[in-house]
A = this chain, B = another copy of it.
Amino acid sequence: MKVIEVHQSVYAINDEIAEETRRQLKESKTFMVNLMASPGAGKTSTLLKTIEALKADYKIGVMEADIDATVDAEIMAKAGVGSIQVHTGGECAMDAEMTAQAIEEFQATQYDILFMENVGNLVCPAETDTGASRNVAILSIPEGDDKPLKYPLMFQVCQAVLINKIDTREYFDFDDAAVVERIHDLNPDAKVFFISAKTGEGFEEWIQWLTGCIDSWNA
C-alpha cells in the first residue's frame, strides 16, 4: 500500500491567548466546555439534555459557533439559558482569539458553566486550544467505530468522549469494545461514556464526571 505524505501547513500558535482565557475563567469560577463533533453527531441535543440536568444548580451560558445560521442559539435560548451565536466567517473551528472575543461580547464570566458548541468537524477544532477548561468530543453510533483511527488528534485532545445515539445500535455495526480500545490507544486517560441524547440513557455517569470536574476547577 503506497502512502503519499503531502505538505503540512503551519498552524498559528495561539496557546498564549488560550492560557490567558483559562486564567480569567478560573478566576471568575467559570467552567468552560469545548464540545466538538462531526455535523449531526448530536452536539445540540446532548447539550440540551445536559443543561436540563444542571440548570437548577448552575448558571449556564452557551456559545454556538457555526459557519452560518442561528438555529442552535435559538434552541438554547428557548431552553432557558443564556446563549449567543458566533459566526466564524467561514473558519472551520474556533481559535483562542475568536473564543476570547466571544467571551468578552457575551460577558461569559458571569456564568458558572460555559458550553461552547464548536463548528461541526472532527479535524480543525482538535488543532486549536480555545482556552476551555475541558475538551469533550461526541462520536455517534451511525458514524462508525473507525473514527478514532481516521481522526486521531480529536481523540487525543479530549478528556471525555461521548458515544451518542446508542438507541440506534441495532441499526448499525458498531463495536463498543473496539472504539474504547482505539480511543484508549490514543489517550489512555480519556473517559468514554455511552449515551443517548434521545432517551437520556447514560447521562447520569457523564453528568457525575462533569460536576466532579467543575468541583475541582472551583476548588
Contacts and interface: CB of A to CB of B under 8 A. Distances in A.
Interface of A: 1-9, 11, 38-40, 66-71, 73-74, 77, 84-92, 97-98, 101-102, 105-106, 119-124, 127, 140, 142-144, 146-147, 149-153, 165, 168, 171-172
Q: Pick the most buried of A9, A77, A124, A150: most chain B CB atoms within 10 A of its CB.
A: A150
A71 B40 CA distance: 23
Contacts of A2: 84-85, 105
Q: Pick the most buried of A73, A74, A143, A153: most chain B CB atoms within 10 A of its CB.
A: A143
B153 A168 contact: no
Given A140-B142, A171-B171, 10 more contacts: A1-B73, A3-B85, A3-B87, A4-B102, A6-B86, A6-B87, A40-B147, A68-B152, A69-B146, A69-B149
Contacts of A69: 146, 149-150
B151 A67 contact: yes
Contacts of A90: 8-9, 11, 123, 127, 153
Copies in the complex: 2
15 contacts: A1-B74, A2-B105, A3-B70, A3-B87, A7-B91, A9-B89, A9-B90, A38-B40, A38-B143, A39-B150, A67-B151, A69-B146, A92-B92, A123-B124, A142-B142
A171 to B, nearest CB: 5
Contacts of A77: 1
B142 A168 contact: yes
Contacts of A89: 5-9
Contacts of A97: 7
